[in-house]
Structure formats: structure tokens, C-alpha cells
Amino acid sequence: MAIKPLCHSQKSDLEQGENLGEGASLFFSKWQDERVAKPVLSLNQVTIRFAGDSGDGMQLTGDRFTMDTASLGNDLSTLPNFPAEIRAPQGTLLGVSSFQLHFADHLVQTPGDAPDILVAMNPAALKANIGDLQRGATIIVDKDEFTTRNLTRVGYLQNPLEDGSLESYKIHAVPLTSLTVAALSQLSLSRKEAERSKNMFALGLLTWMYHRPTASTENFLKVKFSKKPEILEANLLAYRTGWNYGETTEDFSVSYEIAPAKMPPGRYRNISGNTAMAYGLIAASQRSGLKLFLGSYPITPASDILHELSKHKKFGVISFQAEDEIAAIGSALGASYGGSLGITTTSGPGVALKSEMIGLGVMLELPLIIIDVQRGGPSTGLPTKTEQADLLQAMFGRNGESPVAVIAPSSPSDCFAIAMEAARIATTYRVPVIILSDGYIANGSEPWKIPEVDSLPDLHVEFAKSQENFQPYLRDPKTLARPWAIPGTKGIEHRIGGLEKADVTGEISYEATNHDLMVRARAAKVAGIEVPNLAVDDPTGEADVLLLGWGSTFGPIASAVEMLRNNGEHIAQAHLRYINPFPRNLGDVLKKYSKVIVPEMNLGQLSMLLRSQYLKDVIGYNMVRGLPFTTSEIVEATMEVLHG
Amino acid sequence: MADITLTKKDFTSDQEVRWCPGCGDYSILSTMQSYLPELGIERENIVFISGIGCSSRFPYYLNTFGMHSIHGRAPTIATGLAISRPDLTIFVVTGDGDALSIGGNHLIHSLRRNIELKILLFNNRIYGLTKGQYSPTSEQGKITKSTPLGSLDTPFNPISLALGAEASFVARTVDSDRKHLTETLRAATAHKGSALIEIYQNCPIFNDGAFDMVTDKETKGGALLQLVHGQPIKSETHGLVHSGASLKVVELASVPESELVVHDAHNPDPAYAFALSRLSSSALDHVPVGVFRDVERSGYGSLVNSQVGEIIAAQGAGDIGKLLNSGDTWSVD
């Protein structure tokens, strides 16, 4: 494989590159204008995976490529995948961090099954990811990292770049590290510091390959390193050198274009699930007029919601980092008692700790939002991997008959709407609401059509007013909610607590029939929460088999349904965003289809609920690998049911 | 404030009080009901939050807002309320099991943060509601249902613990001494941040007479070392003198009054208050009562709300439309 040495034109570009700042972008666009010599192929879609050591900056690289891709108008979906260790031993399989991005000129539902192109920054990244590639895929590796030491560390006895084992792939072995170091030699950086910019070299190369715009990443770097001019210069130089490398070397003979996807008109941005959740909560606070109070304890993969909300104090947001999970939800419940929108964010182990306080919320009948960004369990489990195995915990993980509302977003951007829905349900029915997000949609991202503020739901709430003979447990006949009676309101002073309440008066009551009445009243209140009917997508009306999912599996299921229909199969799809209560028409929908397949990233928790509530023997399709389903897995499972 | 004229009756709820006859909680409740009118705060702006235990029934008997929450967690709920509603006056009512065992973590963090809460810790050195197991303040060797051969645990000294947790106000008083209890409540409510009051409280059923040394007419005069800011620290028979880096109890007759330690509740060095706290042992022969420490430190809720207020003053209130449209955006026509 011939790699051109730094050619003359590139060298002169580098010299010009010393003039950073305003002129830099102009200079860079000049490169783009000159890019006419190599053929350009059009593609409909591409899946790229960036993989490297957890210290190699792969998440940042993936994020930047995603932003540049989003702004070009492609539809996309991402899958960050990283180890729980912040810096696992360098160069080991354990330490491999990756970021997968699927983008296309059409609707994208998943981060892609198999990458078309893998960028592997070291032998560990190659070894950990090669199994996911199909033959013919493109692999770009940092050749410099393929040393005997690094190879043996991950169990390669021979160099796979040389032993022919990668013959069925298109390999680009690029001396990424040494090219980056050479390009930065004019700066007074140590070799180690210079090497850190190699991810920007890789990003520049891929940016060239797929004709992504460069201005946004350049601006991003300028802001990020505004106080470190030397590091900024290094990153910009590496980025441009990578771009230039693609343009000038023979190794890369073709580049690709992917036309923008046809999306409904409007203004768009790319958004991750955790950011969308935080924005949805702020929007709920604004639309309800309630102060947003977040009580939270850091936990992967939910902490980014705490981080995001903490940035927005000018919305009156109070973000309180508590001493533990219990204090986090306790403070949220206390704030809710005082008339704020009380929220706590966590993951499965945190929900376990919060159980008793959720039960108190049920008893006090106060609004409370609990966001569970699920991860692999049980116990500490797989902190950075996704799973849907907290469903039954959310439903039943408390002492006594303790019903709460349970809802689940179906994509990263849906987290915005689901947060507002949680606020509607919590404040209307005075009940704890658990949102089941998960690591996949929390960290994954997609383009989002930004809603008009006026189109957001009105969440206005009425508190109990000053009155005589106030009855704290007198229910609204329609919603069965009790009054939200906040301290500071004259004449309605009253005492509440975790002991059983007498109907209407709210006084302590150990009376048998009252307890039975109150248990049923709390259950009826949650069962009566108004939720939209379940929409079924069954275009021909001839389907006999329904694919029914909940939460983050929407993308892979929808993608599989599309593929099945393209192959002439009749298949219906429906997706549950509301789990407690279920949509009113769910029973009828289940009856209509002779076979119902329920894919879940657990061992059949929704299946269990459906069987017990509707006596429908649904067919579970269950995997718990810490990763979302691929489209082809669901296609295969469905074909099995369709045709045996 | 002057035009608010409430009486003890206004603060008494219609609920029948259900503590055991002779329980120390009765006198604390009665003293509190008598004291509250003096605060000059409307009933609707006062909130009592409790955990679980005999003492935690307290909120039911006061005609204010109140919440009887779950075991050990009252400070967490009160924290959320105090931060989000700085207009309210919030009391936490707890016991030695609730505050120091199951809820120990929340107690120390509330004190560390200096949340605007008045925490009343009823210390009866026993688990009453669960019928008589030893508590984290029970003396070592205590025979109870769960320790038939005597407890092995070293007890907590609640005052020492609070001081170690950076508390800005720490006091001790005794259930049956209405005057002293009232004075202590007065000092605590005048304090801006967290205030912890340990109240020695007799449980007549499971630990009767635990505090006889400091309540019996015969002994209390000699046992109670009165902490009054600016006054020499002494009981009727004993006084306190410096002894190296520490403090020592001596017979009053043995030293001139001028050598006695003059109490300084505002001493910024917590080592002083800590030394005072170490004078009381399980035996209760010399027990300082009064305000150990009362120093000014910004309340947490006030800091949180200033931070929010300052950013809004500097940048204006947030605009949700702008937020949603922030970052890299693009248009599709």
C-alpha cells in the first residue's frame, strides 16, 4: 500500500496554517474548492464506527462528526459505547471505547447493525470490533499502534495487517500517530501532547471522505480551547492535516456524498436523550409556572441530566446534589410538598434505594417525577450499557399496594415530550411518575425538529386555596386527585404522613374498611390516568402478526418492520409509551392479532404484564447483552414466527 | 409581625395525643405550643417534619403544616422544602434512633450544609416505638430485649457528632425544664442556619429514670453545668477551668470565681465547644446544658437562592425558545 509522503502542496498548506484565527476557515475552504480531482460516489446511507482507547477521545470525535452530519441535513442515529472505567489499562480490550453513527438520505431508525467503516485507533479497538463487520467493510487503522507489544497485549500472535487475515476487508493502514506528530512538529509540544490530537486527524480524514462541512468543528475547537491557544492550534492542524491526507494521498481514491434526508420543514438540531429530558423538564417548569427542583445523586448513565439542568439556573432551576439517592428523592418530595415540580434522576440501583420514598409519595399523593435511566443489572451490573430490566421494579418495587404511573420514551428526542407528559400526569393526578429511559437513548442522539414554544402543552396547576373546614384527602371526582395544599396557605394547615389516611379527612386511620377503600382509591386513580390510545401501524390491514415494543426498542423494531414490508411481509407494529396505565385499547389490539411478538432488552417483563393483564400468550424476544437490538435480529426473529 | 397575636390554643391541633402517660414528649409539646406564639409567625408559614419513632408523632399535635415522614429521612424532605421555600420556618422533630442510626447520614449533611432547619433531637437513649431495643445513644452494657447480655456498642455523643459535622448551632436542654427549653428554642429560632437541639427526654416505659441525675431536685443542681454566653460555666457545686488544651470540672470551693471559664458560644474555633461536649458522659454527673455553639455562617437555602437570583439579574430570566434553539441548528424548507 503506497502512502505518499507529505507532498509539497500539503507542506505549504501547513506553513500557511500557522496563520490561525479568522483567516483559517477561508484557507480551509480553499482546500475544499480544490477537491475536484478524485471521483465522488453517492451513497444512500453509511454506518461508521470510531473505536479507540478510552483516553483517545472517540466520543468527542463521534460527537463532532455527528454534529457536522446533522447540520448537512442527513437523518441519523448514534450509539456511544464505552467502558465503566474512566481510564482502563491502555491498549487493552477492556479499555475500548466506541461511537457508532448511522446517517442517510432517508429516515434513520437505528445506529446501524454492522458498520460499513471502522476507524480503529489501536489493535485492541480492531480486535474488539472486527466481529461486528461484514466482509467488504472498510477499516482504517492507526498503523503506528500495531507494535509487537500492543499486538501481544490483546492476543494477536501476528500482525493482522500483514498476515492476510483481513483480506476480505478494505484496509487503510495509516500512520496516524506519526503523521499527526510530524504535522505538529513546528509547535512546541511534547510528543505525548502532540499525539493527543490524533483523533482530530482521524476526524479530518473522515470529514474529507464523507464531504462533511468543517466550520462547525473548527468553531467548536476554538471555543473549547479558547484559553489554550497552543492546544487549539494543535487540534486545528491535526484536523486539517487529516482532511488534507484524504485529499492528497493515493490511499484514498474516492470520497462519498450522502444527500440530505427529506425531513418535514422546520428548524432542527441534534439532541441526545439526556439533554432532551433536561429540556423537557425545563419546558414543563415554564409551562406549569412551577419552580423546577431537581434532587439528584450522581450515577451513570443519568448524571448528564443533572449536569444539563445545573447549567440553566436562570430558568429558576434548583439543582441539588444530595448526599445519597434517598436524600435526592426526599428533597424532591419535600420541594413538591412546597409546591415545586419535584424531580429526581437516577438509574436502577438508585431506584432500589428510593423505593421507600416513592411509597411515601404514593401515600402523600403528591406530584413527583422519578427518572430511571436504566442500565444493565442486577446490582452494579453494567453501568455504561443499556437494558430494560427495571420495568417490573418500576411497577412493583415497593412494599404494599403502591401504584405509580410508568411511562417510557421511545427515542432520544422523545425524552423531551415524555418529560412534559410526566409533569402533566404527576401534577394532574398528584402521583409519582416513573420515566423509564435507558442508556441507549440517554446517550444516543438524533436530529430533532425544534417545537414552537406556543405549541407546547399548557401545564397550569391550581393549588388548594384558603378555605374553612379544609379536607386534605377529599378527591376530585374526575381525576381522583386530592388537593395540592402547600404550606403558606392560610386556613388549610393540616398534617400528612406515611400512616394510612382516613378518606376525606386525611387523619390517621387504622380502620379495616377505610384501608381497603384507600388502597383501591389509589389504584383506581392511577388506573384512571388519561393516556392516548395505542396507535397501530398496519398499512395493509392484512397483518396477522404484531410487533409490540416499549421504550428504546422503537428504532430497531421500526427498522425491522420496514425491511420486512419491503420483502413483501405483512406485519403490524405498535409501541407503548404508557405502561401504567396501559392504553385503554391495548386489550383490543392484542386480540386482533393472532401472534404478538414482544422484543425487550430483558427476560420478558412486558410479556409478563401483558399475559397477566390480558391473558394473551405473547411471544417474547429477549436479549440482555447491554446493547440495543439490531434490525436484522428482529427481522430474523419475526421471520421465524411468520414462517417457522 | 407585631400584629400577629396567637395563643397556645391556636397551635394545638384537634388530635388526641397518644404518647404513654408520663412520657417526656408531653412537656416538650406543651412547651413548644406555648413558645410558638412568641415567634410572631403565622401558623401557615410554620412546618414540622418528622421521621419515625415516638417523637415523630409530634407534628400531628400542632396546628401548623406538618409531615410525619419515613424513618430517618425527615431532614431530606425538610431540605428540599427549605431550599425551595425560604419563606417558611421549618422544624425537624426526630429521636436518637431516627436521627443518629437510620438517618445519621442525613443529619450530618444537613448540619454541614447549614440548611435553615431547627432540628429537635429527642434523646431517650432507647427505641421506644419498637418496644425497647438499645439505641445509638444507649450506654455501653445496657440490657435490653436485643442485648440480653448487655450492649457492646460505644454510644454517640450527639453534641460531639453535630460539631464534627460543622454545625453552626448546637444546644442541649432537658424535657422537664420548661424555662430552659423555651430559652433554648428562642436561641435556636433566632439562629439563621441549621440548629440542633438535643433534648434529654425520659421514656417512662422502656428507659425510665435515664436522666434522673439531671432532673431530680437532689442531684440536678450539682449535675447541670449552665452554659450562658458571657457567664462563668458552673453548676451549684462545680465549675469549669482550663486544663492544658482541655477543660476540667472542679469543685467551686477549690478555685476563685475569676478562674472559671467564661462561656463564649460565638467562639469560631469548634474545638472549644467540642471540649465542652466531652464533659458529659453516660453517667451524667456533669452535664453542660445550654447553647454550646452559635456562630454565623450563610444558610444553604439562602446561598442557593442567591446564586439563582444573581444569574437572573446578570443574564435575565431564561427564554425557553432560545434554549431549544441553542447550539448547532439548521433549517429544512
Tens digit of each residue's pLDDT (9 = 90 or more) over B237-284? 999 999 988 899 999 999 999 999 999 999 999 999 999 999 987 789
Which chain A residues are within 8 Å of B85, Cβ to Cβ?
335, 338-339, 487-488
In this prediction, residue A38 carries a pLDDT of 81
Number of domains observed in the structure of chain A: 3
Are A241 and A276 contained in the same domain? no
Q: Which of B59, B82, B329 sits opposite A450 (nearest CB)?
A: B329
Which residue range(s) make up the domain with A379?
269-455
Q: Do B330 and A70 touch (CB under 8 A)?
A: yes
Q: What is the mean pLDDT of the segment spanning B195-202? A: 98
* CA of A47 vs chain B CAs: smallest distance (Å): 22
CA distance B28 to B175: 6
The verdict on a CB contact (< 8 Å) between A357 and B320 is no
| pLDDT attached to residue B333 | 86
User: Residue A83 — very low, low, confident or very high, per pLDDT cuts 50/70/90?
Assistant: confident
Residues A254 and A183 in one domain: yes
Distance from CA of A202 to the nearest CA of B (A): 22
Does residue A83 lie in a domain region?
yes
Q: What is the CATH classification number for the domain harbouring A337?
A: 3.40.50.970
A548 touches chain B (CB under 8 A): no
| Peptide bond preceding B270 in cis form (omega within 30 of 0) | no
**pLDDT value for A357:** 98
Tell me, yes or no, whether A230 and A304 share the same domain.
Answer: no
B333 touches chain A (CB under 8 A): yes
Averaged pLDDT score across all residues of chain A: 93
Distance CA B97, CA A155 (A): 56
For residues A441 and A554, membership in a common domain is answered with no
At residue A26 the predicted structure's pLDDT band, cuts being 50, 70 and 90, is: very low
Q: Is the model's pLDDT at A425 over the cut of 90?
A: yes
Run of H or E including B240: strand B238-243
Is the same domain home to A359 and A309? yes
Do residues A117 and A180 both lie within one domain? yes
Q: What pLDDT score was predicted for residue A34?
A: 45
From B328's Cα to the closest Cα of chain A, the distance in A is 6
Secondary structure element (H or E) that encloses residue B170, with its range? strand B169-174
Tens-place pLDDT, residues B129-185:
999 999 999 999 999 999 999 999 999 999 999 999 999 999 999 999 999 999 999
At A408, the amino acid letter reads A
> Which residues from A are below 8 Å from B81, CB to CB?
334-335, 337-338, 487
**Do both A160 and A54 map to the same domain?**
yes
- Mean pLDDT, range B106-119, rounded to an integer: 98
Statement: residue A30 has pLDDT above 70: no
Domain membership of residue A341 (yes or no) is: yes
Tell me, yes or no, whether A427 lies in a domain: yes
- % of chain A exceeding 90 in pLDDT: 91
Percent of chain B with pLDDT strictly greater than 90 = 95
A89 within a domain of the structure (yes/no): yes
**Whole-angstrom Cα distance, residue A40 to residue A32?**
13
Q: A471 lies in a domain?
A: no
Q: A30-34, A62-66, A90-94, A284-288: lowest mean pLDDT where?
A: A30-34
The 8-class DSSP code of residue B67 comes to E
Interval A580-596: pLDDT, tens: 999 999 999 999 999 99
CB pairs under 8 A between A and B: 207
pLDDT tens string A125-180 = 999 999 999 999 999 999 999 999 999 999 999 999 999 999 999 999 999 999 99
From the list A316, A340, A356, the residue facing B70 with the nearest CB is A356
Strands B238-243 and B246-251: antiparallel
pLDDT at A28 over 50: no
- A508 found inside a domain: no
Residue A492 is assigned to a structural domain of this protein: no
Q: Considering A197, A231, A258, which residue would you say is the last residue of a domain?
A: A258
pLDDT at A21: 35
- Quote the minimal CA–CA distance from B109 to chain A in Å: 7
Which residues between 106 and 145 in chain B have a beta carbon less than 8 angstroms from any beta carbon of chain A?
A: 106, 109
Nearest by CB: A497 against B62, B67, B109: B67
Which whole number is the average pLDDT over A540-555? 97
The pLDDT of residue A20 is: 34
pLDDT value for A6: 33
Nearest chain A residue (CA) to B300 = A320
Residue A457 at interface with chain B, using a CB cutoff of 8 Å: no
User: Which pLDDT belongs to residue B4?
Assistant: 78
- Select from A324, A331, A493 the Cβ nearest to the Cβ of B80: A331
CATH code (residue A141): 3.40.920.10
Nearest to A498 among B62, B68, B324 (CB): B68
Name the burial class of residue B328, with classes exposed (0-12), middle (13-18) and buried (19+) by CB atoms within 10 angstroms of its CB. Answer: middle
**CATH number listed for the domain at residues B8-229+264-307:** 3.40.50.970
CA distance A425 to A529: 7
Give the DSSP H/E element, type plus range, for residue B189: helix B178-190
Angle at which helix B24-39 crosses helix B178-190, to 10 degrees, equals 50
Q: In this structure, are A76 and A184 located in the same domain?
A: yes
Question: Does the ipTM surpass 0.95?
Answer: yes
**Every domain of chain B and the residues it spans:** 8-229+264-307
- At residue A344, the pLDDT reads 98
A298 and A209 share a domain? no
Using a CB–CB cutoff of 8 Å, tell me whether A223 touches chain B: no
Confidence at residue A5, expressed as pLDDT on a 0 to 100 scale: 35
End-to-end CA distance of chain B: 62
- Mean pLDDT for the stretch of residues A377-405: 97
- Quick one: A249 and A275 in the same domain? no
Do A234 and A194 meet the contact criterion of CB atoms below 8 Å apart?
yes
pLDDT of residue A441: 96
Q: How confident is the model at residue A37 (pLDDT cuts 50, 70, 90)?
A: low
Residues A180 and A254 both lie in one domain: yes
Q: Looking at the structure, do residues A202 and A294 belong to the same domain, yes or no? A: no
Q: Residue A473: inside a domain, yes or no? A: no
Judge: A495–B304 Cβ closer than 8 Å, yes or no: no
Predicted pLDDT of residue A32: 44
What pLDDT does residue A565 have?
97
Percent of chain B whose pLDDT exceeds 70: 99
